[in-house]
Amino acid sequence: GLGNVTADAIVQQQEMTVSGEENVPAAEQVSAAQGADGAPAAQEPPTDTRAAAADGAPKEGSNQDTTAVPAAVDEGTKEEPAGGEASAESAAPPSDEKTAEPEAPARVESSFRLPEIDAEFDVWLKGQLDASPADAKDTEDFRYLTFSELPPFTDLHKSLMRKTMTPELFAKLKDVKTSKGYTLSNGMQAGVLRPHLGVGFTAGDEESFELFKEVIYPIVEGWHKFNPETQEHKSDLDPSKVVMSDEQAALFQKYVKSTRVRAARNISGYALPAGASKEDRLAVEGVLKEAFGGLPAELQGTYYPLGGLTSEQEDALQAGGFLFQKPGPMQLLGAAGAGRDWPDGRGIFHNDAKTVLCWCNEEDQCRIIAMEDGGDIKGVFGRFCALSDSIKTASEANGKSLMYDPKLGFLGTCPSNLGTGLRASVMIVLPELNKDVHKLEEICAGFDLQPRGSSGEHSAAVGGKWDISNKQRIGFSEVELVQKMVDGITKIIAMEEELAAKNAGGGEVAAVGFKLPEIEPGFDAWLEGQLTASPADVKDTDEFRYLTFSELPPFTDLHKSLMRKTMTPELFAKLKDVKTSKGYTLSNGMQAGVL
């Protein structure tokens, strides 16, 4: 997150290793939603780096610090082009036309201070600051550095930017500049000054994704395991396509305390916060205010400009967890320059019912959050989609479009939040599964969900309250991600009820109908172990389980299939983690021949 969290909101950060490095955030989460009891329902780490160090462990966005979305709130936004097509034109490189060379900007007296990282590196950094020419984007409290050479990174620098940036690539791109004046050094600055960031690179405008694609694409692949060179993103913001039965809806209302969906939207033609001028920020604010004015009745509300808040309004927004603060120098946004000219052009919108919230010009131009106490995920997703569509419509009415790329999806400041950029999450009470964190993680893994306890990943939750969200951002549509959430939470609730019935003294619960065959004692024991260790599969039913083989089966003399003859240890190792777009794996295909 990039803003401050309410007093009782704890931003959780998860640690994740990227490309073998430690302390690399995994994705992005921000804010906490308020549960029915009024307590913060959950928190999410911010994007990009969510500090490999601390975000609670967001480690979900690697370039970012965490911002808590207030109790009872979650960030979210996700605008999508009609019909799933790109709603905004791809970034184009600057024109080749010769224009008069602008005068070099005068250096602004600045209170900007460098961090202390490592004695030798600090000396190098001070030299770079002193030698950096003035930048038109500089302000009294912030300076953009221009690196004359590839930074001599320390062992503390863990970002994907550091891994990607070779001397040859730096030399090739160091003098490239977008039409908005954003440079390679501008994009690298947060990752250089804040070693703990996991992504380490920020985009300053739409053109950044084209001009610096040799930096951004490898980062995207390293973070999301998605290759923009060979794959395309897809978008679907039709909430009617989410399948949820009345029985599932009733279960969600019983167990889920709060639900939220959030994402970011940015308007083509204006710079992103890390590279924006004051004029761009004000123009974005104007378009968003127009969008808020055109919302349907249930989403109508009030826009509060940060620079014009009364003390009463500030207290009310702070109490609700809706207020965001100027990013500190140790946070991603602070180091990237997104806090310049504070608080001009920034503001907060929420509807009268406080079930939708928008942050204007924080980490992105607009962060959309839809939230609600209870488990009506379809309703929350529907409001999210309506809000996203309104921003798209207002942008088009002003001759603009949303930043969208066919390969990368919705564009934003941090590469960790591309694609859908969507985080759908629930705060759910699971007292029985809370006793077996490993079992809960296994079930979640089968649906690509991420459980967070009170101290981040791999920890139990105080009171059994878990924040569970989607892991993926890019390569899947919004509808697909929400559907995985519905299916996964349904499975989790079923397991919770099964354990509760067993622990209530009712003896062993009726076992799931699936039974393993008896083949040979030693093989049967191995097979039972594989079944126990297999994560949940979205294709499982009450009477059937898909196994995930962790190793090549120790076939018996009874196994006569061509599959057995074909499957070598090398071939198994090569293909065991491969999965089709429909979720079919090597183990799925082998199962009949093994059993």
Position 67 pLDDT exceeds 80? no
Domain count for the chain, please give it.
Answer: 2
Scan for tokens 């994740």, then name that residue.
Answer: 16
More confident: 156 or 82: 156
In angstroms, the CA 339 to CA 328 distance is 8
427 is annotated as contributing to ligand binding:
yes
Q: State mean pLDDT over 425-441.
A: 90
Whole-angstrom Cα distance, residue 454 to residue 534? 26
Q: Which amino acid is at 159?
A: S
In-domain check, residue 263 = no
The whole-number pLDDT of residue 106 equals 62
Q: List the domain range (segments joined by +) for residue 195.
A: 119-224
| The Cα angle at residue 226 between residues 378 and 267, in degrees rounded to 5 | 60
- Interval 415-427 mean pLDDT: 95
User: Is 24 within any annotated ligand binding site?
Assistant: no
Question: By CB neighbour count within 10 A (0-12 exposed, 13-18 middle, 19+ buried), where does 582 fall?
Answer: exposed
- Residues of the chain with pLDDT > 70: what percent? 79
Considering just the CA atoms, what is the radius of gyration of the chain in Å? 25
Question: Does residue 424 have a known ligand-binding role?
Answer: yes
Q: Is 194 annotated as a binding residue?
A: no
169 found inside a domain: yes
Q: What is the pLDDT of residue 136?
A: 95
261 is in an annotated binding site: yes
Provide the token pair at 294. Answer: 């055109």
554 inside domain: yes
Q: Is 510 labelled as part of a ligand binding site?
A: no
Residue 586 inside a domain? The answer is yes
pLDDT surpassing 70 at residue 321: yes
- Write down which residue in 190, 207, 224 finishes a domain: 224
Nearest Cα to Cα of residue 89 among 179, 206, 177: 206
Q: What is the pLDDT of residue 533?
A: 84
The answer to the question of whether 284 is labelled as a binding residue is no
* pLDDT at residue 463, rounded to an integer: 86
pLDDT at 509 over 50: no
Residue 510 has pLDDT above 70, yes or no: no
50 is in an annotated binding site: no
Whether 61 shows a pLDDT value over 90: the answer reads no
Least confidently predicted of 71-75, 377-381, 541-545: 71-75
The pLDDT confidence band at residue 458, using thresholds 50, 70 and 90, is low
Is 9 labelled as part of a ligand binding site? no
Give the pair of three-digit tokens for residue 396: 């088009």
Alpha-carbon distance of 32 to 371, in angstroms, equals 10
Q: Is 551 within the bounds of a domain?
A: yes
**Residue 371 annotated as lining a ligand binding site:** no
Q: Rounded distance, CA 535 to CA 154, Å?
A: 39
Please say which residue of 169, 189, 224 terminates a domain.
Answer: 224
Residue 145 domain flag: yes
56 has binding-site annotation? no
pLDDT tens-place string over residues 353-403 = 999 999 999 999 999 999 999 999 999 999 999 999 999 998 898 899 999
Q: Is 95 annotated as a binding residue?
A: no
pLDDT over 80 (residue 452): yes
**First and final CA of the chain: distance in angstroms?**
48
| Cross-strand pairs, 444 | none
Residue 362 carries which DSSP code? S
224, 255, 270 — which closes off a domain? 224
pTM equals 0.69
What is the average pLDDT value for the chain, to the nearest integer? 82
346 found inside a domain = no
Quick one: average pLDDT of 107-132?
89
Over residues 433-462, mean pLDDT: 83
Give the pLDDT confidence score for residue 455 in this predicted structure: 66
- Per the model's pLDDT, the better-predicted residue between 527 and 456 turns out to be 527
143 is in an annotated binding site: no
Note whether residue 207 is domain-resident: yes
**Any known ligand binding at 367?**
yes
pLDDT of res. 445: 87
Q: Would you state the pLDDT for residue 459?
A: 67
Q: Give the model confidence (pLDDT) of 157-173 as tens digits.
A: 999 999 999 999 999 99
Q: Is 452 annotated among the ligand-binding residues? A: yes
